[in-house]
Chains A and B, each alone.
Chain A
Amino acid sequence: MTEKICPVCNRPNISTAKRCWYCQSLLEDEQAEPGMTAEDLAGKEAEVTGSNEVPEWLARVRQRKAIEEMQQTRSLSPESLPPAEESGGQSGNQPDNQEKASREPEKAEASQLPEWLQGLGTPPPSEGVTKSLQMESTPEPENFSWLEKLKSWKARDEEDADTGSEQSEPPAPQPPAAQPTVEGSNEEWLAEFLTPAEESREETPSSDLETRVETPAMPAEIAEEKSLQPGSEKGPEDETYDFSGEEHPPLEEGHPVVTQFLDAEFSGSGSLPQPELPSVPTEEPSDILKEVAPTDNADLDWLTHYQEPEAEEPEEKALPSASQAGTTQPSAPFLGVQPSDWGESIPEPDIEPDFEAPEEEVEPAVLPAWMQGLRPIETKPQPSSVPSEETVREGPLAGIEGALVGANLGAAFEKPAMYTNKVQVTDRQSLRAELLQNLLSEPGEAKNAEEPRRPVRGKWLKRVMSLVMLVIVFAVLILAPGTSLLPVLFPPETANAYRLVNELSSDRPVLIAADFEAGLSGEMGFAAQSMLEHLMLRNIPLAVLSTNSVGSTLMDQMLANSQGLVSSYDASTRVVNFGYLAGASIGMQSLTSDLRTALPYDRNLVQAWTHPVVQNVYSLVDLGALVVVTDDADTGRYWIEQVQPALNGVPLILVTSAQAAPMLQPYYASGQVSAVVSGISGGSAYEQMMKLPGNSSYFFGAYQVLVLAVAALFLVGGLISLVKPAERGSKG
């Protein structure tokens, strides 16, 4: 099997290979492109190989230099410059059909390459750029042989290279070869193409273009970072990369890059860009370029990746920089590139080489800087694979030189989001957390609440108790009616009530506030009955109101009962029933401010204050007394607190239930209440003072016996409870 020696990497390939398996360079036929004649190539090879006196490595270097120069020439070939048909002439040196046909498989191959790599493939002639160049001032050289011009230009370049650069513009980073002295009218377009660019280099930041064409090939943030790195200007050595023979993809007319390029740059400057644009120092990319960048697919990568050979990621310092490589190793694309992670995605040729490359021919892993920048960020080789000669300054290996550096994971990942130590919670979340904390922060004994409680079973005992109590009541009422243990001394508060009623004037009405419920009307009847009888006996006019809905009705019932005992009292003319006073304590206080407004009508919705009983009453002070009949200590207190201050000496008498009396006793002791009649005992005492035995005295004996019976039950039950084991959850 015949082998094909790659003209670039000088490695053997199988005969059917069209590209070098190692460096993907075109082999033989493909190399014989119009831009590089076979003679050039042959001449160079002969020049390199003809010298048997030089060492092999030097010969290889020379060979590569020649190839590089050849590729530089190719970069100025009509593929990157106006094609013949649009440049005004069709030259026989234009890429012929054969060449186009030879590119078809390349395209097929390129389709299998990564997207970013496809941009480096086999671009067709850049018509867009060509057109843009023509539009301005490029004269159409008729019948010009651009190839010959290039030859001459290239020869000039070599000449300059040999004699040293005599350029008058040192800042110009373009290589000496880029300063041709264009001769002949056919080459004027090239002279105009080149010269104004140098002038406009100061005016127009061509870095915009560079960034524009560079950013699509890499993540935007990387490109931006690279553009910000200092020292990105290249020296003359860097220019060895400028025309490295890679063909750039075409830019079609109307392409965003081209359009904006023309609008923003060239139109304004009135000059054409020169091909040496990549040599312009990198500057900050403009905003417009940042916007355009993502839409492009490295169409102009060939222009840009030479710009920043030093603008590499820090982790790539171990690799030879592009500038360094440029001085010693002509950089052809993929030359000497070791397969890396990102390169593994490139499909291998179908036919495996049946030999291994000689060990001595393996080039050191030199990855051009431009390619470093072109690689996707996620496939960048980690510096851990490259030995570092630097001294480790921190960590357990501090002070050791050449130690393997661990993967710089920090550069491979994005900066994590900043999280503060303070937990940001909403009010609702904090509330729920607080609730949970409350639930969990119970003392141990509170767990008793968890224990299921056993329902109490005592219906039979309760029924027995009910029966016993009923038997006691009825037995006393039947066997000894009216028998009771009466105190020798009457309660003073009850005696005061009797005295006050006795002292009342019969022309001043007494206001009775009936604030008791139906359930306690029996006890309240026992307590109030005797006083009502006393009032009727003294023929005192009465006004009735209630702050609950049933009080006035219940009071009507009591008055009717009392009137039955005091037949001389005419309730129809001596009693006014105001009915229900709404508003509870608010209603009570309204009595103090304006009595007539608070109670405009009686219970029958008749004008109340026209009644003879109350027609002379305008305020509470016009009353003879205020009697509050209540079963609730709170209600009694409200009357004391809200109304008593407005009475101005008018007696306030409380008729209360037995349960409310202890809470109201302090008000009697303080003098706020004039008298108190409480419960059945008070009613019985009042009856005794009146010497008119009534219901209270009749039932008081049964009440006393029943209380004693309950006390006995309480005592027995308490003693049994003390003997029996305590209940679950008992507090003791």
Chain B
Amino acid sequence: MNVTASSAGILIVLVTTALILVFSSKPVRNKFPAMFRRIPAILRFKRAVGVAVEEGTGIHVSLGKSSLLQPSSTSAFIGLSTLNRVGQLSGAGDTPPISTSGDGSLAVMSQDVLVSAARETGTLQAYHPDQGQLSGVTPLSYVAGALTVIEDPSIRTNVLIGNFGPEAGYLSTASEERGSFTMAASDNLAAQAVFYATAGEPLIGEELYAVPAYLQSNPFHVASLRVQDILRWGIVAVLIGGAILKLAGLI
């Protein structure tokens, strides 16, 4: 990596970090309160979790197949945050949440998250390691294993959030065919297209990364969303400026 790219990379990281810290600070939050646009899928998801708790049905969170060693692990972390929130929300329910994943390290992390949520909600005695299971080590075997969970009669809410391929269409289709609530989000474009066609509540684009902010209202989540918006506008400006300069023949 050349010096220019390295410098740009370091600058972007530092600026992003500083902006996140600034926007997560209380004075800035109070002075510039965040405005969320409506994402109906997330709102319906929260409602579905409440309904599942009321009905005593289970919630299945599928975390995808991303390894934590890959850059797509960020989507896996989003899935883990969502799982944590689901564990908190459904702590009062009769059926504990279940998570499936397609990577070993992600499965272990999901167990850790479920333990944390169970401890937080005082339901640690109801926790079982099978709640966070590795359903398969390849994408299709993972999907096949997760299908058995989706087809469990006690599961009425399915959340597919993480890194998926088009094979995740199995999961969303099976969930929809069972009449379960299905919210699906992925950082993979092919999976997004499949989810849009098959899932009841798909999230498109970077809406995946907005899920924690909408679910938890953590200052850092909200701040990161605002920073994303700022950087996005910056990129838009750079693209438009570059196009103009290109048309003008300056670059």
Contacts and interface: CB of A to CB of B under 8 A. Distances in A.
Interface of A: 428, 431, 434-435, 438-439, 442-443, 445-450, 452-456, 458, 517-519, 548-550, 583-586, 632-634, 637-638, 641, 645, 659-660, 662-663, 729, 731
A585 B138 contact: no
A453 B181 contact: yes
29 contacts: A431-B120, A434-B217, A435-B88, A439-B49, A439-B50, A442-B43, A442-B44, A442-B46, A443-B40, A445-B44, A446-B40, A446-B43, A446-B44, A449-B44, A455-B177, A455-B179, A456-B176, A519-B167, A549-B137, A550-B138, A583-B69, A584-B67, A586-B69, A632-B188, A633-B190, A634-B187, A634-B188, A645-B2, A729-B200
Contacts, number: 100
A33 to B, nearest CB: 74
Contacts of B111: none
Q: Which of A448, A550, A662 has the most CB of B within 10 A?
A: A448
Nearest to B167: A519
Contacts of A447: 47
A641 B9 CA distance: 12
B163 A454 contact: no
Given A449-B44, A453-B176, A632-B165, 13 more contacts: A438-B89, A446-B40, A449-B47, A450-B51, A456-B176, A517-B139, A549-B137, A584-B69, A584-B70, A633-B188, A634-B71, A638-B70, A731-B40
Contacts of B67: 584
Contacts of B165: 632
A428 B122 CA distance: 10
A634 B163 contact: yes
Nearest to B183: A449
A458 B173 CA distance: 12
B199 to A, nearest CB: 11
A659 B189 CA distance: 9
A519 B217 CA distance: 40
Contacts of A518: 138, 140
Contacts of A453: 176, 179-181, 200
A678 to B, nearest CB: 13
Interface in B165-202: 165-167, 176-181, 187-190, 200
B249 to A, nearest CB: 20
A60 B110 CA distance: 97
Contact of B139 (A442, A519, A638, A641): A519
Interface of B: 1-2, 5, 38, 40, 43-51, 67, 69-72, 88-89, 120, 137-140, 163, 165-167, 176-181, 187-190, 200, 215, 217
B189 A662 contact: yes
Nearest to B50: A439
Contacts of B190: 633, 659-660, 663
Contacts of A434: 217
Given A439-B50, A518-B138, A448 B44 contact: yes
Contacts of A586: 69
Nearest to A634: B72
Interface pairs A-B: 10 shortest CB-CB: A453-B179, A449-B48, A439-B50, A446-B47, A455-B179, A456-B177, A449-B47, A449-B44, A446-B43, A584-B69
A426 B149 CA distance: 36
Contacts of B166: 659
Contacts of A445: 40, 43-44
Contacts of A431: 88, 120
A335 B179 CA distance: 90
Contacts of A446: 40, 43-44, 46-47
Contacts of B88: 431, 435
A428 B1 contact: no
Contacts of A450: 47-48, 51
A549 B137 CA distance: 9
Nearest to B189: A663
A438 B215 contact: yes
A400 B114 CA distance: 72
B137 A442 contact: no
Nearest to B194: A659
A160 to B, nearest CB: 81
A662 B188 CA distance: 12
Contacts of A634: 70-72, 163, 187-188
Nearest to B54: A450
Nearest to A583: B69
Q: Which of A431, A438, A445, A729 has the most CB of B within 10 A?
A: A438
B138 A439 contact: no
Contacts of A638: 70-71
Contact of B179 (A452, A637, A662): A452
A468 to B, nearest CB: 19
Q: Which of A435, A549, A586, A659 has the most CB of B within 10 A?
A: A435
A585 B69 contact: yes
A446 B1 CA distance: 48
A517 B43 contact: no
A141 B200 CA distance: 112
Contacts of A448: 44
Given A431-B88, A438-B215, A454 B167 contact: no
Contacts of B180: 453
Contacts of B69: 583-586
A456 B179 contact: yes
Contacts of B215: 438
Contacts of B72: 634
B145 to A, nearest CB: 14
Q: Which of B46, B47, B51, B188 has the most CB of A within 10 A?
A: B47
A393 B180 CA distance: 72
B40 A519 contact: no
A450 B44 CA distance: 9
Nearest to A550: B138
Contacts of B48: 449-450
A435 B89 contact: yes
Nearest to A443: B43
A449 B40 CA distance: 11
B1 A455 contact: no
A518 B138 CA distance: 9
Contacts of B176: 453, 456
Contacts of A585: 69-71
Contact of A449 (B137, B138, B181, B188): B181
Nearest to A458: B177
A36 to B, nearest CB: 76
Contacts of A435: 88-89
Contacts of A632: 165, 188
B163 A438 contact: no
A495 to B, nearest CB: 25
Contact of A455 (B70, B167, B178): B178
A439 B140 CA distance: 35
B13 to A, nearest CB: 15
A645 B47 contact: no
Contacts of B177: 455-456, 458
B189 A633 contact: yes
Contacts of A729: 200
A453 B187 CA distance: 27
B97 to A, nearest CB: 14
Contacts of A549: 137
A437 to B, nearest CB: 10
Given A638-B70, A729-B200, A517 B47 contact: no
A442 B215 CA distance: 12
Contacts of A439: 46-47, 49-50, 89
A592 B136 CA distance: 31
Contacts of A637: 71
Contacts of B189: 633, 662-663
A295 to B, nearest CB: 47
Given A431-B120, A439-B89, A633-B189, A449 B51 contact: yes
B47 A442 contact: yes
Nearest to B176: A456
Contact of A428 (B38, B44, B120): B120
Contacts of B217: 434
